[in-house]
Amino acid sequence: MVVWATALLESSGVESPRLDAECLLASLLGRDRLHLYAAAEERMPSPVFEVYQALLGRRQAREPLAYLTRTKEFWSLSFAVTPAVLIPRPETETLVETALARLNELQAPVIADIGTGSGAIAVAVAKALPHSRLYATEISSRALDVARENAARHGVLERITFLHGDLVAPLLCLGLAHHCDLLVSNPPYVATRELAGLPAEVRYEPLEALDGGSDGLDVHRRLISEASTLLRPGGWLALEMAPGQGPSLSRLLREQGVFGDIEVTPDLSGRERVIVARCTGPGSARSGVGVGLRERAGRTHGG
């Protein structure tokens, strides 16, 4: 069965036909890929075979494997994904690593994940920092449902407050001005003119999570402009970006006049991937407010 499916996908130009054929079958049967070999001689019931055929057809049409299996690994964790969210990618782990490196001296950091999508970044950070409190915003209610599912799956739902709304606005409404130690985001960063040239698989993903405007930096500009309203003095802003956007983003950060320690970090392939900066501007002192914020967050969970 797998040999036949592999040949089918290979004939359509799918890059990893054997792996994809195995993953689809394993997902359909609820088994580990290794267990497929032990059951290679088993006869597949006709209804199951028909579903498998349909999945293979969708993969031939370049629908992403993660949407067909409804799962994707990120930060060594398994995340539910649907067409409502961007598929988590290995390069975004660089953003998580960069964020964690800026928080390792804080006992109970307050973190904002803007445009959380599947919740992969927020969940990964929450798992790595058991005493952290996170707030995750998302303009898509369907994406928020997926993010909540993932937080529950990994046992961190009680420490992440999910908020529906545009960028930082829901957090300001919650009273978090100048109380965050870190603002992290993987904003859309593909220039509009480049969308048509993306791989066929990527074009299945939500356009609003990809389209960054004429130069790919529309959302970055808004985040850089608004971040200092959330960050405490000394807090960090960490943004994912496309290779080549570092100089423009560094200039935007400098022009704000409230950011220093600007640094561009490459991903594992050596390509520019994350820009990070420290907020040096004025903000409210955090002493005496941490406990109150955490108590209020517990009451507003899932807002």
> Of 240, 275, 284, 272, whose CA–CA distance to 256 is shortest?
275
Confidence class for position 283, pLDDT limits 50, 70, 90: very low
pLDDT tens digit sequence for 196-215: 999 999 999 999 999 999 99
Q: What is the C-alpha separation between 224 and 122, in angstroms, rounded?
A: 19
Mean pLDDT for the chain overall: 89
Contact 261, 101 (CB under 8 A): no
Longest dimension (CA), the chain: 68
pLDDT of 150 above 90: yes
Please spell the DSSP secondary structure of 4-41, one letter per residue.
HHHHHHHHTT-SSHHHHHHHHHHHHHT--TTHHHHTTT
CA separation for the pair 175, 101 (Å, rounded): 26
- Asked if pLDDT for residue 254 goes beyond 90, the answer is yes
> What is this structure's pTM?
0.88
Question: Any idea what the Cα angle at residue 66 is, between residues 65 and 70, rounded to 5°?
Answer: 125
| Tens-place pLDDT, residues 102-112 | 998 899 999 99
Looking at residue 296, what is its pLDDT?
33
What is the C-alpha radius of gyration for the chain, rounded to an integer number of angstroms? 21
Domain limits, the chain: 2-61, 81-299
Q: Which residues pair with 164 in a beta bridge?
A: 138
What confidence score (pLDDT) does residue 209 get?
Answer: 96
Tokens 């359909």 appear where? 28
What is the rounded CA–CA span in Å between residue 214 and residue 194? 9
Q: Is the pLDDT of residue 34 over 90?
A: no
User: Where is mean pLDDT largest: 28-32, 40-44, 232-236?
Assistant: 232-236
Residue length of the chain: 303
List the Cα angle 162/88/169 in 5-degree steps: 30
Q: Are strands 272-279 and 231-240 parallel, antiparallel or unpaired?
A: antiparallel
**21 with 48: CB under 8 angstroms?**
no
CATH number for the region 81-299 comes to 3.40.50.150
Nearest Cα to Cα of residue 186 among 206, 209, 202: 209
